[in-house]
Chains A and B, each alone.
Chain A
């Protein structure tokens, strides 16, 4: 697309700044948008409000977001450190910050390799879903985190094989976000950063 036409359609150039040829094309785009809106209803159907309120009437009352210790539960990824000493330190950190045993050793039944259960957390109030995508699941968005108490803190425990892994969170299936509390990052080649997770075997 011609850069001037693009700038005009993006609101960065005025109509007068376009060449005559581009003005014709610019007008055609506006006609297209105008025509697309022809025949649209002015608003929601009249029954919609009643239908929503009927459902709302029988739903449990919405709970306020819990704010106590909110800062303490900010998103963080638990890393398995490369040394036993560091692992112990990480374990202490886990005990202090995440008292619900966020990581443990599990055996992957599909293979003889040991996997490490890593807990991922992301603070995402307002999200309807959060999933984890990384090189350990071929960047698919099918590893869902959960927020069962509705406090906006999404968590999930994932068995991961030892190694260096890259990952991101995906909010509502479309918005890819970098873990704000990862300890290391790497560029993904598309202008964003992946979080980097180091998982080492427990010996």
Chain B
């Protein structure tokens, strides 16, 4: 086994393209957690998120020769994964989606005093998140759950900063509106 965790992304990519496919393990170990966390925040269910990341990493291996900048292969793998997430969210076959780990929170917080009320609020947050479209959810997750800057988001997704700011704003407004409706 030739796994070397200290090699650069570019060296790992070049080694894989030269035939050392075991070096792909370096990239899998380096990026699987980040990819998985984003996928989980996007699609909500652990098994769906793991399936998407697995497919993204395998697709990434198959298309590795197309990666224009091997030093930024992490961002390239992220784009493959994020597109699979959006395809999944837009798929008509997608059944009942749930957001794991989404706990009670509302914009106009009213400090719920019993479990029943807290359960209703959790349900409200889940419903609100599910109603965001894929692009809005992606922008909201990157900005507010992953704490990325608009510069990073723009480079990662290949979308202009102004468009991303608009998506985040729309996501906030949608969430705010829906959470008020559910209250």
Contact = CB atoms under 8 A, between A and B. Distances in A.
A150 B33 contact: no
| Chain B binding surface, main DSSP class | helix
A80 B168 CA distance: 42
Contacts of A39: 100-101, 103
A44 interface: yes
B172 A29 contact: yes
Contacts, number: 161
A151 B65 CA distance: 8
Interface string A50-62: 0111011101111
Nearest to A57: B21
A64 B169 contact: no
B25 A53 contact: yes
| Chain A binding surface, main DSSP class | loop
Size range of the interface on B?
Answer: 35 or more
Interface residues of A, number: 49
Interface of B: 16-17, 19, 21-22, 24-25, 28-29, 32-33, 35-37, 40-41, 46, 50, 53-54, 57-59, 61-68, 76, 79-80, 83, 86-87, 90, 99-109, 125, 129, 134-135, 143-145, 149-150, 157-159, 165, 168-169, 172-173, 175-176
11 contacts: A1-B172, A10-B165, A10-B168, A28-B108, A36-B99, A40-B40, A41-B37, A49-B25, A49-B28, A59-B62, A150-B63
